[in-house]
Structure 1
């Protein structure tokens, strides 16, 4: 089950925020935004922010933020988005940087609200001096953080009801995928390794990515690392081989066959259960790293991998 279209129509370290390609921005136009219920006060990474009126010209410099804005019904209010905001198709992607924003370039879009990722927080004070309202959104550390940002951006843009409904629907869709998978497979007794890049950076269960796996009852080998580095440890090849995960998930760009072959070619990796059984899965690096509504797609990909692994095991036993 993919996330309902009505959520999407209306998108380490660096990989968790950037992945995609730029396109030229459409002509800017004024968007009519709901104004009832304003002023509103919301809380972002810096504290309370009060918006006197519903923003009609939003610049989003966060791919996850862009996806959330469209999910809560504020897409028509977005006049520009950063270079990596490649989803949905109608997102007004530009060459604006979300990492090192140019205040001058952002100002040219005449925004009445700018959405920034936490990495670009220093830019917020410069925009404050220009009188431009700013919301700084940290990377979600949990699924609850993801739901809260749906509600926050809904409230901040005049779509409070839509934001609350989107959060509820995403959570419900995740629960349904997990329930259906567990109904088919029963108790899942399997371990996994999630690889953020070929340097063997991974995620622990304390991240929002790890929490998705935890919903299925999977065991994360990265939780056993000596230094979890704030939830994103760099593992050693020896550690991964020793932990012998049942599944390996690759979450970075590249052609799947080539990436899977590269993993199998690493010294001693051919002895890992996941490699031996063909359970090395390349995930979409965007849906597996952004904490917006497409986290449902990520969960579905995990469910599909579990079902495929079970099917392979059944076939092997039958043979």
Structure 2
């Protein structure tokens, strides 16, 4: 069983201690939960045992940061990565979640660090100096959202609040889907999701693809030859697929208008009938509690198509 109780790696510990010299002692935040510890949870690598409730959490994933605040652990978050821009109260730092500086993380005196799976090397180094770490994989399904919220609740002393938050998010999402289908029926519209202007898309194997699937949409990216979660499609492929609805999830001025300027795109049903919708890049790429907002945006676009 892998636990957060580790023997320090002497050389690394010494280096990190020296790098932190001269810094003032961070103050303790208020508002921790009331869970029972020690507690053992299972992250992306195995079991992690936390001996005490964490009071100084560093979150190196924007999705995790949103989850922590949603479940009532926001007051325990003392630092977050540079892309953690929501909620407004999230700590504003220049920490990298993609290539974390272990020394910079240690300077925040954390008693729990949460990282994404692609930062696993940093997790090993942090554990070597007795800092508990949770490693969370990217969500691929809505169930991953609810499960990770509950895991974080157990790890931070907010298990009950996390259960309530996960149940609320799930219920609200399902209600939006049900209400939308009542208005639109089972029409089986086709959808094209564009991640960037190089025409990378997202298939049903991705989190956003799973959201479209819940609404009964047929994803044209599922037919791409190279498969995978984010295939790069050609103009010819998209034109031939003739999607009924297009979602753009990148923040570029004139992106919607630019679609019609692509070769033969003026023949695509979604472009011709003005059924192209912009999605917030953050909301549409994170599998956190704002999936409810994402569902509302998808619902609005679907209802508009059926009402046109």
TM normalised by structure 2 equals: 0.90
CA drift at 1:309: 1.4
Partner of 1:209: 208
Instruction: Summarize the Cα distance change of 1:304–1:32 in structure 2 as closer, same or farther, 3 Å threshold.
Output: closer
Q: Deviations over 1:69-111 (max 9, x none)?
A: 0011000000011110000000012010111111111111000
- For residue 288 of structure 1, give the secondary structure of its aligned residue in structure 2: helix
Q: Which residue of 1 aligns with 2:182?
A: 183
1:135-174 correspondence to structure 2 within 5 Å: 135-174=134-173
Separation (CA, whole Å) in 2 of partners of 1:50 and 1:253: 41
Structure 1 residue 279 corresponds to structure 2 residue 275: yes
Q: Distance in 2 between matches of 1:117 and 1:36?
A: 24
Partner SS state of residue 110, structure 2: coil
Query: Of the candidates 279, 303, 306, which is equivalent to residue 307 of structure 1?
Result: 303
Within 5 A, what are the aligned runs for 1:108-257? 108-229=107-228, 231-255=229-253
CA distance in 2, matches of 1:216, 1:103: 42
Give the Cα separation in 2 of the matches to 1:156 and 1:280: 41
Q: What is the alpha-carbon distance in structure 1 between the residues aligned to residue 154 and residue 126 of structure 2?
A: 21
How far residue 34 of structure 1 moved from its aligned partner, in angstroms, is 2.8
Q: Which residue of the partner structure matches residue 43 of structure 2?
A: 44
**Contact 1:188-1:216 at 8 Å conserved across structures:** no
Q: How many residues align?
A: 283
SS in 2 for 1:59: strand
Partner of 1:54: 53
Segments of structure 2 that go 5 or more residues without pairing to the other structure are: 1-25
For the aligned residue pairs, the C-alpha RMSD in angstroms reads 1.2
Higher relative contact order (CA 8 A, sep 6+): 1
Give the distance between the partners of 1:28 and 1:222, measured in 2 at CA: 50
Q: Name the SS for the 1:245 alignment partner.
A: coil
What secondary structure sits across from 1:260 in the alignment? helix
Contact 2:28–2:55 (8 Å) recurs in 1 = no
Distance 1:254 1:54 in 2: 43
1:151–1:268 distance in 2 versus 1, CA, 3 Å: same
How far apart, CA to CA, are the structure 2 residues paired with 1:101 and 1:28? 23
- CA drift of 1:29 comes to 3.9
Give the TM-score normalised by the residue count of structure 1: 0.87
Tell me the secondary structure at the aligned position of residue 205 of structure 1: coil
Shift of 1:254: 2.2
1:254-277, CA deviations, whole angstroms, 9 ceiling, x for partnerless residues?
23xx11011111111111000000
Deviation at 1:253, TM superposition (A): 1.4
SS of the aligned residue for 2:250 comes to coil
2:257 corresponds to 1:261: yes
SS across alignment from 1:123: helix
How far 1:131 sits from its partner (Å)? Answer: 0.6
**Do 2:41 and 2:151's aligned partners in 1 also have CA atoms closer than 8 Å?**
yes
Give the deviation of 1:212 after TM superposition. 0.8
Deviation beyond 3 Å, 4+ runs, structure 1: none
* Shift in Å, 1:32: 4.1
Listed as ranges, the gaps of 5+ residues in structure 1 are 1-26, 313-319
Deviation at 1:163, TM superposition (A): 1.1
Give the Å deviation of 1:141.
1.1
User: Alpha carbons of 1:28 and 1:167: their partners in 2 closer, same or farther (altered >3 Å)?
Assistant: same
